[in-house]
Chain A
Amino acid sequence: MVTEHEVTHIAELADIGINTGELETFTHQFNAILEYFDTLDQVRGEKTVTRDLGNVLREDVVEPSLSQEDVLRNAAHTEDGFIKAPRVM
């Protein structure tokens, strides 16, 4: 069982924002869904899966790309050709 306190913590970790009014519903639904996920406890099989696949890597080659104007077009706040973000410190 997850508690309302844990759901609040998860919402915080996910930066999702949660209203106190929706906390009870989310918690109730989480418990129903997680109870269903618990069927996975019964799964048996090999833990490590090896695949005969390689990484797709290449040399870094400079090619024509989007213009600065195109890249900035969808940003709400820009300044001197940069995207402006909320402060992180």
Chain B
Amino acid sequence: MTGHQICFEPDDRYNAFLTTCTNVPHGKGKLSGIAVAVKDNISTRGIETTCASKILKGYVPPYDAHVVDLLKQSGAAIVGKTNMDEFGMGTTTENSAFGPTLNPCDTSRVPGGSSGGSAAAVAAGMVRMALGTDTGGSIRCPAAFCGIVGLKPTYGRVSRFGLIAYANSLEQIGPMGRSVTDVSTLMGVIAGYDRYDSTSVDKPYTHTPQPEIKGLKIGIPGEYFGAGVDPKVAKVVNTAIGRLEELGAVTVPCRIPSMEYALAAYYVTCTCEASSNLARFDGVRYGPAADTNKSWHAAYQEVRRAGFGTEVRRRIMLGTFALSSGYYGKYYAKAQIARENVKRDFARIFSGVDVIAGPTMPTIAFKLGEKSDPLSMYLSDILTVPVNLAGIPAISVPCGKVEGMPVGLQIMGRPFEDERVIDVAYAYEQAVT
């Protein structure tokens, strides 16, 4: 540390933050003195980390997540922890135990989720950049709904050490910012090998965005413009793709037939993984106290009923059911076949095109309270979950508005070609600004 610090006293009218740090010391480096917000499921030493859950109220991690360590080394000032759907389970940031975050573009609407606090903090100009996490679209969805840029990196490219796990095989930490350049810069800080994450891949990111896309082949999947996608959103995204064609890219129609089963495969997989991961919250090592005078099961159930929100309990139960005796073959095993089919479809398409483009979300941001039925909320993730099942990189970049609300253009790439999806997003951004 060099004795520098920044003072952070934001007007948090959107409930973007769960914790703010007023005077933040920072060092020198690539992000020297830049205010960065961190989603509240990423461990920060000495700063309360709750995953927006009552079951972690008061939990202060004794160590930093690897990405937080890297942020500090780069001179960034970590100014606060952002609101989210509890444990990342949601598409609206309404499933927070500490109240919903509001969309800065229209406060009667949700910011998207689950990294809604990070997106709102960036969109409102409270911070320049933020970290989110993306299990089934949780970076790209709020980026699209709030009109900012968000990248879900290739699985393995960013360490998950210190990320409080929800669905390990699907989730990645990723950068969010107002420009592609900022997202690229933040990616450069957080990507790279970490021996504390056994799925970490040694592929550092040292790229500077290039706007040259002449001759680039872009796959346009029919499924991303079909049933369930608001025609007004599809039209805005089509216009954006036309812009990429004007820049010299060539579009090629393609099909992802496995998408028919992708959403079910995603929800079976993530709820199964959640049922296992969230077993650790027992009120013994952290969180609200379990009554040690009661029997184990009685004390455990009491803590978890009071500490977990409804959506978290629903997903733990769904996962427990899907993995229970007699149902494993029907749900989990089938979901893994469906997941492999999604991977194969992407591999086949990527043998003929460089990237795939479509809308990030099928609609604009929902009104607060609009998605009260869990299944209808799950269905809104249809365009983002295939990427997580396949482990590929994808970025959402703002590409216009419908009814005054931002729309996101999603660019998906081959595994470990995060640089290419960044370049395409950068080319688009430069052409329209």
B260 at the interface (CB under 8 A from A): yes
Contact of A10 among B293, B320, B341 (CB under 8 A): B320
Q: Is A85 an interface residue (CB 8 A)?
A: yes
Residues of B within 8 A of A43 (CB): 261, 265, 334, 337-338, 341
Whether the Cβ atoms of B290 and A76 lie closer than 8 Å is yes
Q: Looking at chain B's contact residues, is the secondary structure mostly helix, strand, loop, or mixed?
A: helix
B301 in the interface (beta carbon within 8 A) = yes
User: A65 → chain B, closest Cβ, in Å?
Assistant: 10
Q: Which of A13, A33, A71 contacts B318 (CB 8 A)?
A: A33
Residues of A within 8 A of B58 (CB): 74
| Contact yes or no, B296 A86, CB < 8 A | yes
**Which chain A residues lie closer than 8 Å to B335 at the CB level?**
40
Q: Which of chain A's residues has its CB closest to B261's CB? A: A43
Question: Which chain B residues lie closer than 8 Å to A42 at the CB level?
Answer: 261
CB <8 Å contact, A46 and B286: no
- A30 with B321: in contact, given A46-B340, A75-B284, A86-B299 (CB under 8 Å)? yes
Min CB distance, A20 to chain B, in Å? 12
Q: In the complex, are the beta carbons of B316 and A33 less than 8 A apart?
A: no
Q: Which residues of A contact B275 (CB under 8 A)?
A: 14
- Annotate A21-57 by CB proximity to B: 1 below 8 A, 0 otherwise: 0100010011011101101111111110100000010
CA gap between A33 and B311 in the complex, in Å: 13
Q: Inter-chain contact count A-B, CB under 8 Å?
A: 149
Q: How far is the CA of A6 from the CA of B324 in the complex (A)?
A: 11
Assembly CA distance A37 to B331 (angstroms): 7
A24 to chain B, nearest CB (A): 14
> Does B375 belong to the interface (CB within 8 Å)?
yes
Interface size in chain A (residues, C-beta < 8 A): 46
Alpha-carbon distance between A43 and B317 when the two chains are bound, in angstroms: 24
Select B314's contact among A26, A37, A44, beta carbons within 8 Å: A26
Residue from B59, B292, B299, B340 in contact with A74 in the complex, judged by beta carbons closer than 8 Å: B59
Alpha-carbon distance between A29 and B198 when the two chains are bound, in angstroms: 36
Quick check: B261 and A85 within 8 Å, CB to CB?
A: no
Kindly identify which residue among A26, A33, A87 contacts B375, using a CB–CB cutoff of 8 Å: A33
Nearest CB on A from B285, distance (A): 5
Asked if B286 contacts A75 (CB within 8 A), the reply is yes
Bound CA–CA A13/B290 (angstroms): 18
* CB–CB A76/B264 < 8 A: no
- Give A74 to B43 CA distance when docked, in angstroms: 14
* Interface pick from B14-22, B118-126, B302-310: B302-310
Within 8 Å CB of A32, what residues of B? 373-375
The 8 Å CB contact of A7, one of B267, B310, B317, is B317
> What is the minimal beta-carbon distance from B292 to any residue of chain A, in angstroms?
5
Residue B295 at the A interface, CB < 8 A? yes
Check A16–B331 contact: CB distance below 8 A.
no
Q: Does B150 sit within 8 A of A, measured CB to CB?
A: no
Whether A83 lies near B317 (C-beta < 8 A) is no
Q: Which residues of A contact B261 (CB under 8 A)?
A: 39-40, 42-43
B378 in contact with A14 (CB, 8 Å): no
- Across the interface, do B337 and A17 meet the contact criterion of CB distance under 8 Å? no
Is A62 interfacial (CB 8 A cutoff)? no
A62 to chain B, nearest CB (A): 16
Docked complex Cα distance between A77 and B60 (Å): 16
Does A1 touch B at the CB level, under 8 Å? no
In the complex, the answer to whether B305 meets A10 with C-beta atoms within 8 Å is: no
CB of B300 closer than 8 Å to a CB of A: yes
In the complex, B289 has a CB within 8 A of chain A: yes
Provide the residues of chain B in CB contact with A18, threshold 8 Å: 305, 313
Task: Contacts A74-B286, A86-B295, A87-B296 given; indicate if A14 touches B320 (C-beta within 8 A).
Answer: yes
B54 smallest CB distance to A (angstroms): 13
Instruction: Given A16-B308, A17-B304, A74-B59, verify A40-B292 contact (CB < 8 Å).
Output: no
| B288 closest partner in A (C-beta) | A76
Instruction: Show 13 residue pairs from A and B whose CB-CB distance is below 8 angstroms, ordered by the A residue.
Output: A2-B321, A6-B321, A14-B275, A29-B373, A32-B374, A43-B338, A45-B340, A47-B337, A73-B60, A76-B290, A83-B285, A84-B284, A85-B292
Q: Which A residues have a C-beta under 8 Å from some C-beta of B? A: 2, 6-7, 10-11, 13-19, 22, 26, 29-30, 32-34, 36-37, 39-47, 49, 56, 66, 70-71, 73-77, 83-88
B residues in contact (CB < 8 Å) with A: 58-60, 62-63, 198, 260-261, 263-265, 267-268, 275, 279, 282-302, 304-306, 308, 310, 313-314, 316-318, 320-322, 324, 330-331, 333-338, 340-341, 373-375, 378
